[in-house]
Structures are given as structure tokens and as C-alpha cells.
Amino acid sequence: MAKKKQAPIDFTKMEACPVCKVSWQGEPIPQESIDNGFYDGPGFFSKVISLYSREEDRTFAYCCPSCNITWDRDTNQRIPSVLKKASC
């Protein structure tokens, strides 16, 4: 029996990292921007990092800014991060 393909997780709609549990909720989106139709999401900006490919012209992965864990957009599998962890 063929393995059922798991639907991609929309990391931009999640409120916290599934690994380190740090909140991804940023500042609230201004009500004026919501009223003007610029946003239709959960009402806050997301801190999750989207990794974009110019060659594919699409987001190919998401990364947690706190723990640097990176997930492939299509498979939800962890992949090696291409981002360097910022040092303070």
C-alpha cells in the first residue's frame, strides 16, 4: 500500500517552534492594514524565516530564528540549515 503524502505544514501560521517552543509571534498587524485588505492572516507578523529560491521562484524551506532548525516546505522534513546563527 502506498504511503499517503502528508500535506505541507504552513509554518507561517504557526505560533511557536515545534522544537524549541519559542514564540514566532511578532508585532500585531495594524488594524488599518487588515481593514484595507493587505493581510488576512492571524493578526500578527511572523518571525519564521522563509528561504526563497530564485531559480525555482518559490519558498523552499522555513527556519526557526531561535534554534535554526530548518524544514523543507514540501516534505516537512528537517534539512541542513543554510543560515548562520547570529552571535551576540
Taking the C-alpha atoms of 47, 51, 54 and 57 in order, what is their torsion angle to the nearest 10 degrees? -80
Query: Does residue 88 sit in helix, strand or coil?
Result: coil
For residue 8, CA distances in Å to 5, 18, 38, 61, 77 come to 9, 14, 24, 11, 10
Per-residue pLDDT tens digits for 31-73: 888 888 887 777 888 888 989 999 999 999 999 999 999 999 8
Over pLDDT 90: what percentage of the chain? 32
Domain map (residue ranges) of the chain = 11-79
Q: Is 37 left (phi over 0), alpha (psi -120 to 50) or beta?
A: left
Sorting pLDDT into bands at 50, 70 and 90, what band is 88?
very low
CB 51 within 8 A of CB 63: yes
What's the predicted TM-score (pTM) here? Answer: 0.71
Q: How many residues does the chain have?
A: 88
pLDDT of residue 61: 92
For residue 37, CA distances in Å to 27, 28, 30 come to 18, 15, 11
